[in-house]
Structure 1
C-alpha cells in the first residue's frame, strides 16, 4: 500500500488545499492529511477546529475518488509524522516559483533526515493557483466575501469569527 502525507496549517482550509487533497488521493492508496500545530504561531482556528473542518471537507472527496483519506494532527518534524503514519511520500502543493524555492529547501532537509521518504510536488490547478490562506484571512478580516476561495462551511466560520470582533 502506498501512503502519502500532505501537511499544512490549513488555517483555514481553502479550495487550493482541497484541489491537492483530491489529486493526491487519486495517486495513492492512502492519504494522511496532517494538520500542523506550531507552538510559535497563533492560528485563526485552533488545531482541533482545523482538524474537524478538514474531516468534513475530505469525506466527499474520499467518496468521489474512492481513496482512503485520514486527517490527523501533528506537532514536530514533518518526517517524524510521515514515518509515524507509514508514509513513503510527502505531498507538497506548489502555486508558483516562489513556493518551489521554499519547498525545495525543505525537501532537501527532509531527504537528509529521511532518505526513504520522497517529496512529490503537485502544481496547483489553474483555477485555484491564486488562493492563499493568508490572503483569505485578510479579506475576511476586512469584511470581504471569501466564498470563491473556501468551502461554504469555512466561509461561515470566518464570517462568524470576524463579525465578533
Structure 2
C-alpha cells in the first residue's frame, strides 16, 4: 500500500520581514502542494532579541505581499508554541523549509529530526533557494533598511514601504 498524499503543508517562519526569497519558496511550494499555510511565528525571543515588527504586522505584510503576487489562496496564520502542534491543529501533514546554504541545512535538519521525533506523521520537505536570493535574509534586510539604504530589490513593494515607514519615521 502506498504512502498517503500530502495535500496540506505549512511554511513556517518569523518573516521579520518577508523577503523575495521567502516569497519564492512560498510560490514554489504552492506549485507542489494543493494547500499551503504560511505560519508566522511569534518568536518573541528569537536569537535573544525581539522582532522589528509585531506578529500582527508580519501577518498583514505577508497577506498583502501574497495577494499582490496572485497567491491569495495561500493562508497566513500566526502561531505560538510547537510547530508540530500547530500542524496537527490545522490538519497539515508536511512542513516546507527553504534552504540557502549549508548552515541553513544543518539547523533545519536538526529541527526536522526533532519534529520527526515528536510527530512522526509530519513530513519535512526542503526547497532549495533560488540562487538569486541565496544571500537575502530578513536580518540583512532590516540592517540595510535601518541605515537608510534601498532594499526594494530584496522585498515585495508593500514590505519596502513598511520598512521605510518603520526606519525613517
TM above 0.5: yes
State the SS of the aligned residue for 1:24. helix
2:94 equivalent among 89, 100, 103: 89
2:66 equivalent among 58, 63, 66: 58
Paired residues for 1:68-87 under 5 Å: 68-87=73-92
TM, length-normalised to structure 1:
0.93
Deviates further, 144-153 or 39-48 = 39-48
Residue aligning to 1:140: 145
Deviations 1:30-51 (A, max 9, x none): 0000000023242111011110
Deviations 1:67-104 (A, max 9, x none): x3100000010111111111111001000111000000
TM, length-normalised to structure 2:
0.91
Structure 1, unpaired ranges of 5+ = none
- Residue pair 1:34, 1:72 contacting (<8 A) in 2 also: yes
Residue aligning to 2:3: none
2:41 equivalent among 31, 36, 45: 36
Structure 2, unpaired ranges of 5+ = 1-5
Task: Write out the 4+ residue segments of structure 1 that deviate beyond 4 Å after TM superposition.
Answer: none
State the SS of the aligned residue for 1:4. strand
Give the CA deviation at 1:155: 0.9
CA distance in 2, matches of 1:160, 1:58: 20
Give the CA deviation at 1:129: 1.3
CA distance in 2, matches of 1:48, 1:101: 30
- Equivalenced residue count is 160
- Residue pair 1:22, 1:61 contacting (<8 A) in 2 also: no
- Residue pair 1:94, 1:121 contacting (<8 A) in 2 also: yes
